[in-house]
Amino acid sequence: MLQKYFIAIVPPEPLLNQIQEIKESIFGNYGTKGALRSPAHITLHMPFSWDEEKENRIITALQDFSFNEEVVVKLLNFACFEPRVVFIDVLEQDSLYLLQRNLVQYVKKHLQLFNQSDDMRGFHPHVTIAFRDLKKPMFYKVWEDYRNRSFSASFTCHQICLLKHIDDKWEVYKTFSFVK
């Protein structure tokens, strides 16, 4: 049976909970709940379908993936993809872009996975706080509320996560250290 997966960086606690509270506040104030269907994350490889009976191939490949540069993720303020997505912005860091590029090349070679978003839009790291069910009129209300708010956090990333779509939401299924 085909299952959906994607690969991402998930912030550590207590930052993960802090971002969850922002998403819950947006839901409470604006009724948009799409972002609540996954933990806060930075997508490294877009969702893909895979035979669930063969998911051990993904797990083994990701266990073998290595990246030996320090990746410091810096989150700063809010931004948007008009007219449907509001997010916490991620400052450009060469090591983060290199991690994403190496991972995409690695899974292309070892799992024959292709990252279509890399071809279409390029990699724009962000942490989504409202999207999908956010209609245009509501988008502008949320964006007006968040555009001038400040947010600042950072963390050193040593791992990537495989997320799996279970019961209509995304869950961290496995975590892999990429520092060997």
Encode pLDDT of 74-86 as tens digits.
Answer: 999 999 999 999 9
pLDDT, mean of residues 148-152: 97
CATH number at residue 71: 3.90.1140.10
* Tokens representing residue 111 in the block: 């799992």
Please tell me the predicted confidence (pLDDT) of residue 121: 63
Please tell me the predicted confidence (pLDDT) of residue 132: 81
Flag whether pLDDT at 117 surpasses 60: no
Torsion-angle region of 122 (φ positive above 0: left; ψ -120 to 50: alpha; else: beta): left
Domain range for 124 is 2-177
Flag whether pLDDT at 120 surpasses 70: no
pLDDT band at 112 (very low <50, low <70, confident <90, very high): very high
Distance separating alpha carbons of residues 43 and 95, to the nearest angstrom: 15
> β-strand 159-166 against 2-9: which pairing, if any?
antiparallel
Q: Which long-range contacts (CB under 8 A, 24 or more apart) does 107-111 make?
A: 107/7, 107/45, 107/61, 110/61, 110/64, 111/57, 111/58, 111/61
Please tell me the predicted confidence (pLDDT) of residue 122: 81
* Tokens representing residue 90 in the block: 């991620």
| Number of residues in the chain | 180
Hey, which residues does 89 pair with through a beta bridge?
A: 126
Tally of domains in the chain: 1
Flag whether pLDDT at 66 surpasses 90: yes
Q: Which pTM value belongs to this model? A: 0.94
b/e map of 146-168 (b: 16 or more CB within 10 Å)?
beeeebeeeeebeebbbbbbeee
Hey, which residues does 128 pair with through a beta bridge?
A: 87
Please tell me the predicted confidence (pLDDT) of residue 102: 95
Distance separating alpha carbons of residues 109 and 161, to the nearest angstrom: 19
